[in-house]
Amino acid sequence: MIAFFFVIIYLGPLVLMIIVMCVQIKCFHEIITIGYNVYHSYDLPWFRTLSWYFLLCVNYFFYGETVTDYFFTLVQREEPLRILSKYHRFISFTLYLTGFCMFVLSLVKKHYRLQFYMFGWTHVTLLIVVTQSHLVIHNLFEGMIWFIVPISCVICNDIMAYMFGFFFGRTPLIKLSPKKTWEGFIGGFFATVVFGLLLSYVMSGYRCFVCPVEYNNDTNSFTVDCEPSDLFRLQEYVIPGVIQSIIGWKIVRMYPFQIHSIALSTFASLIGPFGGFFASGFKRAFKIKDFANTIPGHGGIMDRFDCQYLMATFVNVYIASFIRGPNPSKLIQQFLTLRPDQQLHIFNTLKSHLTDKGMLTAAAEDE
Amino acid sequence: MLELRHRGGCPGPGGAVAPPPREGEAAGGDHETESTSDKETDIDDRYGDLDSRTDSDIPEIPPSSDRTPEILKKALSGLSSRWKNWWIRGILTLTMISLFFLIIYMGSFMLMLLVLGIQVKCFHEIITIGYRVYRSYDLPWFRTLSWYFLLCVNYFFYGETVADYFATFVQREEQLQFLIRYHRFISFALYLAGFCMFVLSLVKKHYRLQFYMFAWTHVTLLITVTQSHLVIQNLFEGMIWFLVPISSVICNDITAYLFGFFFGRTPLIKLSPKKTWEGFIGGFFSTVVFGFIAAYVLSKYQYFVCPVEYRSDVNSFVTECEPSELFRLQSYSLPPFLKAVLRRETVSLYPFQIHSIALSTFASLIGPFGGFFASGFKRAFKIKDFANTIPGHGGIMDRFDCQYLMATFVHVYITSFIRGPNPSKVLQQLLVLQPEQQLNIYKTLKSHLIEKGILQPTLKV
């Protein structure tokens, strides 16, 4: 599987996107199948169709939002795409409503409760699976490094915790998963942080990982070509006194991104396992050993991805809060839809703000 | 250690249903021996049976006590029970409507509080039903966790929406600035804490119950909290966007009931046997007319039409502005057949009235589906009403079940057809960008505005 992962990275962002989509669909399918087995509702009229229909709607909504933001120029060119994107929310809502009405009309007298349960089950599954996968794709667009480092940290934590537990494990961690131990947990934590540091050092050197994915109008494909931002330029840091005496170096050259990677690895090791415990509890609650039997020896796709649940959301929130501000092209797009007087007002405010900061001089105005 | 009683209903094909157990009391004596022998098996096994049983096996939840005030009971003691019910409903309807008017008079801030109060009560009602269905009232931590999640999600939404509108107020205070800037991160951290607490609270024998309640809580949050926040966003757009949709739904309820009462014959849907096609269609037409008239009346007043703004000098909400195009009378030329009927060439309408037709149509055609959904829900879980808060009407959810989809529809309608994004939010985001990005955007905007002729190119010497 790891070799496969490397091949896919090599193939580029579009293929990664498609893989993420497929994983999402498979996870959804696995969880819904469990729901059917639990409730013996495989023969409920319409229900399978409705679940897939809702999956389609929600995916349409999210992809439309993402595509509109990132492929702004492409969308503006094509008339039908422009209309679709302008009324995107309305169209998605209408599609969802149709599904909702179909559900109401499909309620059968003796099976009300079952149908409501499956409805709730579908929605919770959508919430977990689809939102996570879309946040993963958002992270991907930010730069492939934001996709690769978190996922590898979670995988590394899984493996390291298992090995530490295997060799040194003694104190059980939590009743839910009797095989996890404190030694595995802590050993995995340190190993993951170190791994994250090394990995980000290696990857920050290459443009193809570090640059945001953009859609190039002329070549009609995705390009990852840019001037690396501050995060990915080597800077010198003065080591605090404590470590200075140990290592004997005064300064160290690191990428600022590596400091962020410490935060990401810490999250992966400390909170990621909770996603795993959640999935274990779920399996125990519904008395299943594995989510499915897709991967021999490993169980279903969900078994592999259970710790990733929270990671994607965390990375997305982290990026939005600490790394970058809002997306400039999206802002321009929003700006263009405002009324002229509002546009003028914003323009003047921006102008005075930039002049205050000294970014704008009278000479530059003339250009 | 909790001991959850074996629920009524022996696991036998078509077996007799046990007498509906009272809440908190032990089941009948003949079940005692079964419970003892079942102690060995996991409680989850029993619930496994429960899941696959059909609805008819589920025992009914006994209705709560009657909460009609004594004074009403005395006044209506002479009437037969059918008319008594009618009168109670009627009086309560009038009371609710007058309360509504009073709150509108008091202003948008009070309305916000009202919406918030209703949201909390709806959440409470649905969660209580969940507890009763799953007999999980004593599960450790669960009540705390449900309220905690409600708090988190509310915090998240209020931070996103309210921060935009109170930009001037927020800029003044340092701590608020910090909260706003890292808002998403803080909300996520709060949610995570709740999630971890849930995982740590999983108790061996009650896994399934706990997962059910977790999912129940999340779906409830999805329904009630998002709707209420969309309602508040609509409110900020202008009180008319809040009043006309809600009144359309209420009007549709009332007129469909009246039409059904007087003319009803053909049943509409098996779910709700009391609804009829005559009621549905009659309600549709009267709601459209009502919405049309209400829009006409309300569009005149600045109080209803203007977006709500927070003024920092006055420290309160103001609704004062130049009414937008939507709320200025315009002349429309009538299509020929209407010309012949009304014998007029043109009619002056507010453009908003045309939108109100769309809103009323949605309220009458799709709104009832929300009601059917709630009826199906009540039937599935064998409850008569969501709660007994309002005598004669049931709980708050019963009144608001048709509003579910309305708020989302109005919000989507506004963002798609009426206005673009919020200008102050765009400005706020602009100011957060990197200076180079700001400069780039500035240049793009400048060229765009000059192109459109909004900005005259300045000539500098």
- Mean pLDDT for all residues in chain B: 72
Nearest residue to B275 (alpha-carbon basis) of B286, B287, B260: B260
Of A40, A325, A342, the CB nearest to B52: A40
Inform me whether the C-beta atom of residue B412 falls under 8 Å from chain A C-beta atoms. yes
Q: Is the pLDDT of residue A328 over 60?
A: yes
Is B409 at the interface with chain A, CB within 8 A?
Answer: yes
How sure is the predictor about B284, in pLDDT bands with cuts at 50, 70 and 90?
very high
User: How many other β-carbons are positioned within 10 Å of the β-carbon of residue A356?
Assistant: 9
Q: Cβ atoms within 10 A of the Cβ of B352, count? A: 24
Distance between B5 CA and the closest CA of chain A, angstroms: 19
Q: Judge: B185–A321 Cβ closer than 8 Å, yes or no.
A: yes
Q: CB B435 to CB A359 under 8 A?
A: yes
pLDDT digits (tens, 9 = 90+) for B89-116: 777 777 777 777 777 777 777 788 888 8
- Amino acid A233: pLDDT: 76
Contact B449 A343 (CB under 8 A): yes
A339 to chain B: which residues are within 8 Å by CB? 420
User: Which of A112, A175, A285 is nearest residue B380 as measured by Cβ atoms?
Assistant: A112
Where residue B306 falls (left for φ over 0; alpha for ψ -120 to 50; beta otherwise) is beta
B259 has pLDDT over 80: yes
Q: Does pLDDT of B64 surpass 50?
A: no
What integer pLDDT is reported at residue A366 of this predicted model?
45
Q: Residue B435: is its pLDDT beyond 80?
A: no
In the predicted model, is pLDDT for residue B451 greater than 70? yes
Return the higher-pLDDT residue of A3 and B414.
B414
User: Measured between alpha carbons, how far is B386 from B398 in angstroms, rounded to an integer?
Assistant: 6
Q: Which of A98-102, B89-93, B120-124 has the lowest mean pLDDT?
A: B89-93
Chain A residues within an 8 Å CB radius of B427? 346, 349-350
- From residue B350, give the alpha-carbon distance in Å to each of A16, B294, B305: 51, 12, 12
- Judge: B417–A360 Cβ closer than 8 Å, yes or no: no
- Pick from B55, B100, B84: nearest CA to B400: B100
* Integer Cα distance of A170 and B358 in angstroms: 67
Tell me the pairing of strands A172-174 and B272-276: unpaired
Structure tokens, A78: 């094509």
Question: Using the beta-carbon criterion (under 8 Å), do A104 and B372 form an inter-chain contact?
Answer: yes
Separation between Cα atoms, residue A56 and residue A126, nearest integer Å: 10
Report the range of poorest mean pLDDT among A298-302, B236-240, B380-384.
A298-302
pLDDT at B316 over 70: no
Picking from B208, B271, B413, the nearest residue to A286 by CB comes out as B208
Nearest to A127 among B199, B218, B377 (CB): B218
Q: Which of A173, A233, A227, A182 is nearest to A205 (CA)?
A: A233
CA B359 and chain centroid, separation: 16
> Which among A321, A345, A359 has CB closest to B439?
A359
The residue among B458 and B382 whose pLDDT is bigger is B382
- Strand stretches in B9-105, DSSP E: none
A4 pLDDT higher than 80: no
Residue of B nearest to A123 (CA): B219
- The residue of A122, A342, A351, A359 whose CB has the most chain B CBs within 10 angstroms, and thus the best one to mutate to test that interface, is A342
Instruction: Report the run of H or E that residue A174 belongs to, with start and end.
Output: strand A172-174
Q: How many residues does chain A have?
A: 367
CB crowding B240-267: b at 16 or more within 10 Å, else e: bbbbbbbbbbbbbbbbbbebbeeebeee
Nearest chain B Cα distance for residue A10, angstroms: 31
Decide if A39 and B52 are in contact by the 8 Å CB cutoff: yes
pTM score of the predicted model: 0.75
Q: What is the rounded average pLDDT of the residues A110-116?
A: 80
Q: Is the ipTM of this complex over 0.85?
A: no
CA distance B335 to A239: 80
| Mean per-residue pLDDT, A111-128 | 83
**Three-class DSSP category at B128:** helix
Residues of A in contact with B381 (CB under 8 A): 113, 116
- B445 and A107 within 8 Å at the Cβ level: the answer is no
Q: Does B208 touch chain A (CB under 8 A)?
A: yes
Nearest CA in chain A to B180: A321
- The more confident residue out of B205 and B65 is B205
Q: What is the pLDDT of residue B169?
A: 63
Interface contacts (A, B; CB < 8 Å): 194
B402/B137: higher pLDDT: B402
Residue B276 phi, psi (nearest 5): -130, 160
Q: What does the DSSP 8-state code read for residue B433?
A: S
**B376 CA to chain A: closest CA distance, Å?**
7
B-facing residues of A in 89-118 (CB < 8 A) are 89-90, 93, 97, 100-101, 103-105, 107, 109-117
Other Cβ atoms within 10 Å of B380 Cβ, number: 19
Task: Indicate the helix (H) or strand (E) that contains B347.
Answer: strand B346-349
The average confidence (pLDDT) of chain A is: 77
**Angle, helix B435-452 to helix A340-357, in steps of 10 degrees:** 140
Say yes or no for a CB contact (<8 Å) between B439 and A317: no
Higher pLDDT, B368 or B398: B368
CB contact under 8 A, A278 and B199: yes
Give the chain B residue nearest A101 (alpha carbons). B369
Higher per-residue pLDDT: A104 or A345 = A104
Tell which of B188, B214, B450 to mutate to test the A interface (max A CBs under 10 Å). Answer: B188
Interface subset of A 296-315, CB within 8 angstroms of B: 310, 313-314
Contact assessment for residue A32 and residue A122, using Cβ atoms and an 8 Å cutoff: yes
Cβ A123–B454 below 8 Å, yes or no?
Answer: no
Q: Do B420 and A345 touch (CB under 8 A)?
A: no
Give the minimum alpha-carbon distance from A244 to chain B in angstroms, rounded to a whole number.
33
CA distance A253 to B49: 63
Do residues B22 and B62 make contact, with C-beta atoms less than 8 angstroms apart?
yes
Interface test with B, best of A36, A58, A317, A333 (most B CBs within 10 A): A317
Q: For tokens 């290459």, what's the residue?
A: A206
Instruction: Give A-chain residues touching B198 at CB under 8 angstroms.
Output: 278
- B442 φ, ψ to 5°? -55, -45
pLDDT in tens, B208-220: 778 888 888 888 8
| Cα-to-chain-centroid distance, residue A291 | 21
Q: Does A226 touch chain B (CB under 8 A)?
A: no
- Name, in order, each residue with C-beta under 8 angstroms of B118's C-beta and a sequence gap of 6 or more: B228, B396, B400
Q: Is A260 on the interface with B (CB under 8 A)?
A: no
Q: Is A37 on the interface with B (CB under 8 A)?
A: no
| Contact: A287, B44; criterion CB under 8 Å | yes
Q: Do A365 and B210 touch (CB under 8 A)?
A: no
- Cα of A252 to nearest chain B Cα, Å: 27
H helix or E strand, kind and range, residue A89: helix A88-105
Structure token digits, residue A17: 């996107």
Task: Give the per-residue pLDDT at A360.
Answer: 64
> Best-predicted range by mean pLDDT among A50-64, A72-86, A246-260, A343-357?
A50-64
